């Protein structure tokens, strides 16, 4: 479904991605992990066609995606219907006067009738328990509320591939839990998921496979998530865990605390 061949990218001389090779099959759920600045968001932007790589080839469903093709309105529209993107920063994603119009934007672009649009918007608002914000200005919502609206916008498009950049950030525990379960359901329903996250506790619930970036913007590991989580030395090396990180034997969860710290 997604094929990245030897992709590199730099922001006016500042390297962000170096020789990235990734192949994601339809229906996979893949996590992108790595320290701050390792290149996760840049890669997700390339996959969503927001920026084009300096070198290398990006193929979506076997077709090469180029800046030239994305400038063709018809091609871009079809492409963006098939792949939905939840940005790391919701402010860059929300621009309408009220939440209803924000979530309706995608379905309207798809050419659905206004009654179909209404149905879809209401379904998505209900799903995220944000019906009460329907007529609020997205700009004035709290950070977590904005993220829920951003997620509703993407779900309203019902894309085949969902790309989410740190979707759990800033959400309260109950909403995080809901989102994890929802992502699992989406994946079981056949959606391809690509999710960047620093959340080591939830990552193995949402992905079978994890791709790990090092701080030099290259891929250092691509393996089953549960196996990667046991590679403590590797996680330390890429600055994803600190010296206090450990796992309880026989238990799936991992957490941080210092054994020498008595309260
Ligand atoms: N618009 C930009 N202009 C210049 N440099 C940028 C820009 N966006 C990102 N960078 C740089 O590119 C590198 C990769 O950034 P990116 O945002 O992809 O990292 P990330 O892995 O998503 O980090 P985080 O975990 O903090 O979200 C970093 O060194 C960053 O400073
Ligand atoms: Mg990022």
- Cα atoms found within 13 Å of the Cα of residue 184, Cβ hemisphere only: 12
49 close to ligand 1 (CB < 6 Angstrom): no
Residue with CA at minimum distance from ligand 1 atom 2: 11
- CA distances from residue 166 to 145, 175, 180, 213 in whole angstroms, order as listed: 15, 14, 12, 15
Distance 14 CA to ligand 1 centre (A): 9
What is the residue whose two structure tokens read 């077709």?
63
pLDDT, residue 258, reads 46
Going by alpha carbons, the residue nearest to atom 11 of ligand 1 is 16
DSSP 181-194: HHHHHHHHTT-EEE
Ligand 1 centroid from CA 179, angstroms? 25
What pLDDT score was predicted for residue 251?
52
Distance 41 CA to ligand 1 centre (A): 7
Return the sign of the alpha-carbon dihedral for residues 172, 174, 177, 183. Answer: negative
Q: Residue 74 CB: number of other CB atoms within 10 A?
A: 8
- Ligand 2 centre and the CA of 163: distance in Å? 12
Q: Which domains does the chain have, with CATH numbers?
A: 2-256 (3.40.50.300)
Q: What is the best residue among 7, 10, 14 to mutate for testing ligand 1's pocket, by most ligand atoms within 8 Å of CB?
A: 14
Q: Please give the backbone phi and psi of residue 89, each rounded to the nearest 5 degrees, phi first.
A: -110, 110
- Say how many Å lie between the CA of residue 16 and the centre of ligand 1: 6
| Ligand 1 nearest-atom number relative to CA 43 | 18
How many angstroms separate the CA atoms of 237 and 215, rounded? 9
- 246: DSSP letter: E
What does the DSSP 8-state code read for residue 125?
A: H
Q: What is the reported pLDDT for 92?
A: 83
Ligand 1 within 6 A of CB of 207: no
pLDDT score for 262: 41
Ligand nearest the Cα of residue 34 is 1
Residue by residue, pLDDT tens for the chain (263 residues) are 999 999 999 999 999 999 999 999 999 999 999 999 999 999 999 999 999 999 999 999 999 999 999 999 999 999 999 999 998 888 888 889 999 999 999 999 888 999 999 999 999 999 888 999 999 999 999 988 999 999 999 999 999 999 999 999 888 888 888 889 989 999 999 999 999 998 888 899 999 999 999 999 999 999 999 999 999 999 999 998 887 777 665 454 555 544 444 44
Q: What pTM was computed for the model? A: 0.90
Please say whether the dihedral angle defined by the alpha carbons of residues 252, 258, 262 and 263, taken in this order, is positive or negative. negative
Query: What pLDDT does residue 201 have?
Result: 85
């Amino acid at each position: 479904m997604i094929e990245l061949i030897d992709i590199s990218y730099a922001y006016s001389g500042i390297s962000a991605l170096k020789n990235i090779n990734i192949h994601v099959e339809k229906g996979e759920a893949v996590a992108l992990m790595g320290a701050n600045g390792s290149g996760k968001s840049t890669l997700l932007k390339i996959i969503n066609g927001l920026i084009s790589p300096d070198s290398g080839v990006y193929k979506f469903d076997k077709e090469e995606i180029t800046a030239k093709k994305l400038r063709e309105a018809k091609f871009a529209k079809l492409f963006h219907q098939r792949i939905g993107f939840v940005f790391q920063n919701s402010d860059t994603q929300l621009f309408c006067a009220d939440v209803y119009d924000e979530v309706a934007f995608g379905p309207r672009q798809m050419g659905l009738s206004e009654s179909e649009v209404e149905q879809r918007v209401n379904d998505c608002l209900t799903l995220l328990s944000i019906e009460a914000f329907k007529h609020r200005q997205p700009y004035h919502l709290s950070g977590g509320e904005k993220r829920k609206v951003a997620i509703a916008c993407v779900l309203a498009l019902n894309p085949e591939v969902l790309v989410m950049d740190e979707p759990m950030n800033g959400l309260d525990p109950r909403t995080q839990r809901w989102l994890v379960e929802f992502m699992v359901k989406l994946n079981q329903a056949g959606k391809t998921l690509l999710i960047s996250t620093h959340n080591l506790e939830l990552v193995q619930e949402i992905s079978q496979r994890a791709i790990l970036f090092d701080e030099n913007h290259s891929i250092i590991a691509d393996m089953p998530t549960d196996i990667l989580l046991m590679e403590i030395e590797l996680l330390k090396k890429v600055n994803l865990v600190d010296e206090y990180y450990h796992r309880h034997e026989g238990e799936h969860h991992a957490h941080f605390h210092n054994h020498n710290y008595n309260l």
